[in-house]
Chain A
Amino acid sequence: MSGQFEPKIAGFFCKWCTSAGADLAGTTRLKYPPNVIPVTMFCSSRVDPQYILQAFRDGADGVIIGGCHPGDCHYQAGNYKTMKRIILVKRLMQQMSIDEGRLRLEWISAAEGGKFARIIHEFTEEIRNLGPLQLAQAVAPGHGAKG
């Protein structure tokens, strides 16, 4: 695989739907790329926008968030909160010249193992096409740079 860019993707999946969907993808032996590092959260609304920004800063080329379909949130309305936050974070990314396609929000239920595998395929390829994010940290020039 030398020479090919392998995207690093952080995944934040809600425990009740998307994580269960990921389990189903696994137990049904569906294949999908290994590029996503999944973190299970209790709810997609538990994904603090700080986590998304920190993931990008710490080397993630893409971030995917998975929650329950609208109307299906285990906590009634968490996913609606998530949707609003993700729209705003994407606006922020536009201003910071980070392609908003690097952040994706998907509703994947516990029954949608196939959808989980397909989305991970799709997103991995999209990020592969976008290339490495490479958010370099600036350092003040000159002697004794603390950085």
Chain B
Amino acid sequence: MADKLKVDSGSRLRFGFYWAASCGGCEIAVLDVNEKILDVVANADILFWPVAMDTKYEDVRAMPDGHMDVCFFNGSIRNSEAKEIAQLLRKKSKVLVAFGSCAHHGCIPGLANLHNRREVFDTAYHREPSLDDSAGTEPKTKTRVKEGDLSLPEFFDHVFPLDRVVDVDYYLPGCPPPVPLILNAVTAIFEGNLPAKGAVLAPVKALCDECARNKHVAKKMPDIRRTWEIQADPEECFLEQGIICMGPATRAGCETRCINGNSPCTGCLGPTPEVTDQGAKMISALGSILKVDAEKEMSEEETKALLDKVKDPVGTFYMYGLASAIINHRRGK
């Protein structure tokens, strides 16, 4: 990791940032770069950044194609506005980076792929206990009022990662992307040192590789326990304590920030390079290590009862990756 950004002072790079269906955490991650953001500002022009600057879509539309050197796009594609702006920014940017887990894999918004638009609307606009639903109001793409027609973007039935609607040049994984990875990426951009198109700008090994906890060669998971059931020993591997940790199926690069807080990995950096489906790989890993000492004595019923302790397989194994999984939405929803 470079400590200081090396910049070609001859030309100022033009940056854009955008957020689609996201929580705003990725925007904070950009600010977490702290004083190094000043190096960026000193050597780049930020042309478009809705969270921080008063620029309009019209300003982007007025740019020549390929005008922006780099666009960091965070958030998944949930509605027609996000899709339209993704297509616009693709056209106006030389390099489009899917920034963060939502743009990369769909992330938490992607879990809505277990439901359809109707179910999402019913929950969000009618059934929430804190709502006054007496008027039955919900978003419509067009509403006539006495002053004229009002329009809203169309809410899709599905959540899509960015690369399902436009070509993406690079991916910065994480929820949000770890600061060292952001700095590496920005440095590579300034130095004109980016890898081949399509690369994920992060290490290629699994998280276990950079995890400092004690691990044993023959990894054995004694049971399935939820985090509140035990006080996890901060020195020992979570899996060896019975807590599902997504480390074996997750890309390294976060410097084990959750694990350092004695919380197991939930998988936000997505799968390692050769893997398509992170959840399937974690299921595979659990099959290999769960109760290996007792597996031969256990009946099928006992094994099923043990695995029943995984209360929410999709939420556990696909917390971030459902929208980009091999099967990425509920059937017939």
Seen from chain A, the residues whose Cβ lies within 8 Å of a Cβ on chain B are 45, 48-50, 52-54, 56-57, 70-71, 77, 80-85, 87-89, 91-92, 95-98, 133, 135, 138, 140-142, 144-147
**Is the beta-carbon distance between A97 and B317 smaller than 8 angstroms?**
no
User: Which residue on B lies nearest to A76, using beta carbons?
Assistant: B296
Give the bracket for the number of chain B residues in contact with chain A. Answer: 35 or more
Of B77, B158, B295, B328, which contacts A80 at CB under 8 A? B295
**Contact stretch, chosen from B31-39, B251-259, B260-268, B273-281:** B273-281
Q: A53-B277, A140-B77 are in contact. List 8 more A-B contacts (CB 8 A).
A: A49-B283, A56-B327, A57-B326, A80-B296, A97-B332, A98-B327, A140-B158, A146-B164
A139 to B251 Cα, complex, angstroms = 28
Max count, chain A CB within 10 A of own CB: residue among B80, B154, B280 = B280
**Is the beta-carbon distance between B317 and A81 smaller than 8 angstroms?**
no
Max count, chain B CB within 10 A of own CB: residue among A56, A77, A141 = A141
**Is the beta-carbon distance between B331 and A83 smaller than 8 angstroms?**
no
**Is the beta-carbon distance between A91 and B307 smaller than 8 angstroms?**
yes
A-B contact pairs, 23 of them (CB 8 A): A50-B277, A50-B281, A80-B296, A81-B288, A81-B295, A84-B307, A85-B286, A87-B303, A87-B304, A87-B307, A88-B313, A92-B313, A92-B317, A95-B114, A95-B313, A97-B330, A97-B332, A97-B333, A135-B331, A138-B160, A140-B158, A140-B160, A147-B164
Cβ contacts under 8 Å, A95 to chain B: 114, 312-314, 330
Say how far B112's CB is from chain A's closest CB, in angstroms.
12
Docked complex: B27-86 residues within 8 A CB-CB of A: 77, 80, 83-84
Seen from chain B, the residues whose Cβ lies within 8 Å of a Cβ on chain A are 77, 80, 83-84, 87, 114, 154, 156-158, 160, 164-167, 275-277, 279-281, 283-284, 286-288, 290, 292, 295-296, 300, 303-304, 307, 310, 312-314, 317, 325-333
A114 to B83 Cα, complex, angstroms = 55
Max count, chain A CB within 10 A of own CB: residue among B84, B281, B307, B331 = B331
A59 to B291 Cα, complex, angstroms = 34
A98 to B331 Cα, complex, angstroms = 6
User: Which residue on A lies nearest to B80, using beta carbons?
Assistant: A142
**Is the beta-carbon distance between B165 and A138 smaller than 8 angstroms?**
no
The secondary-structure label for the interface of chain A is helix
A77 to B220 Cα, complex, angstroms = 14
**Is the beta-carbon distance between B276 and A142 smaller than 8 angstroms?**
no
**Is the beta-carbon distance between B156 and A50 smaller than 8 angstroms?**
no
Cβ contacts under 8 Å, A77 to chain B: 292, 295-296
User: Which residue on B lies nearest to A80, using beta carbons?
Assistant: B295
Cβ contacts under 8 Å, A145 to chain B: 165
A45 to B326 Cα, complex, angstroms = 20
Say how far B262's CB is from chain A's closest CB, in angstroms.
26
**Is the beta-carbon distance between A138 and B295 smaller than 8 angstroms?**
no
A89 to B156 Cα, complex, angstroms = 28
Decide yes or no: A50 and B307 within 8 Å by CB, A80-B296, A140-B160, A142-B84 being known contacts.
no
**Is the beta-carbon distance between B314 and A96 smaller than 8 angstroms?**
yes
**Is the beta-carbon distance between B327 and A53 smaller than 8 angstroms?**
yes
User: Which residue on B lies nearest to A57, using beta carbons?
Assistant: B326
Cβ contacts under 8 Å, A49 to chain B: 277, 280-281, 283-284
Of A48, A52, A91, A133, which contacts B310 at CB under 8 A? A91
A91 to B158 Cα, complex, angstroms = 22
Q: Which 10 A-B pairs have the closest CB atoms?
A: A85-B287, A49-B280, A53-B326, A80-B295, A84-B287, A138-B158, A97-B331, A50-B280, A81-B287, A88-B283
User: Which residue on A lies nearest to B160, using beta carbons?
Assistant: A140
User: Which residue on A lies nearest to B314, using beta carbons?
Assistant: A95
A126 to B283 Cα, complex, angstroms = 26
